[in-house]
Structure 1
């Protein structure tokens, strides 16, 4: 079994959802692994990784609107050292994911037709987010 790792950096621009599918596909291609597993790990606690609809952007907007209503910002939280958007960002990350696993077959991610991989920034300000891509297999 072979292993390959790559760090993918994603510059966010405040609350937003960034498609990173092509960056992950590129890492899979570079790995030379034909059959295996791609593990993604976002090295942050106030942003998320999601696999979601990649055709209709309204889906992503609806998800963002729903989560904003579910976990509102404001002065209701004890943890507020980094601002009123920080604790809600942590809660949103708990409700979503910081890691994903995707099977690889024939050297390609086995995503569904309408699935894309995204980094979801939950903070108001821009950040440089890091996704560790670990690929293992043959």
Structure 2
């Protein structure tokens, strides 16, 4: 059994989905592990990870609009605003999504569906550099 770990630094410009599928595939390919399990972990409380449709960009726009309605930026709603008015809505959006994903690896590739992509979901309005840890175990 072998394992590898890598920190993927993802730059975001604003709130929204950033596809990281290509970087994830490249990491798996470089490890030369044929069968295993890839774990991705986002080290932040105001960003998350998603596996989502990557063919039609309207899906991403709809997701972003939906999260704006269920966790709106409204200073009247929240007590916590230490880092600004988008801080608490970002924490709520992260609580409703995932900070960790597990993806099987088969024949040296992540097992994703035809229309699936891996995304970092930035929940803050300002630009950030996010750290996503990739851990692959297998043989």
TM over 0.5: yes
Give the whole-Å Cα distance in 2 for the aligned partners of 1:74 and 1:67.
Answer: 13
Runs of 4+ deviating beyond 6 Å: none
RMSD: 0.6
Which runs of no fewer than 5 residues in structure 1 stay unpaired?
A: none
Which runs of no fewer than 5 residues in structure 2 stay unpaired?
A: none
User: Residues 1-16 of structure 1: matches in 2 within 5 Å?
Assistant: 1-16=1-16
Match of 1:125 in 2: 126
Match of 1:112 in 2: 113
* 1:36 Cα deviation after fit: 0.3
User: Residues 24-35 of structure 1: matches in 2 within 5 Å?
Assistant: 24-35=24-35
Match of 1:101 in 2: 102
TM-score by length of 2: 0.98
Give the whole-Å Cα distance in 1 for the aligned partners of 2:109 and 2:4.
Answer: 14
* 1:97 Cα deviation after fit: 0.5
Give the whole-Å Cα distance in 2 for the aligned partners of 1:10 and 1:119.
Answer: 8
TM-score by length of 1: 0.98
Secondary structure in 1 aligned to 2:73? coil
Secondary structure in 2 aligned to 1:69? helix
Secondary structure in 2 aligned to 1:91? helix
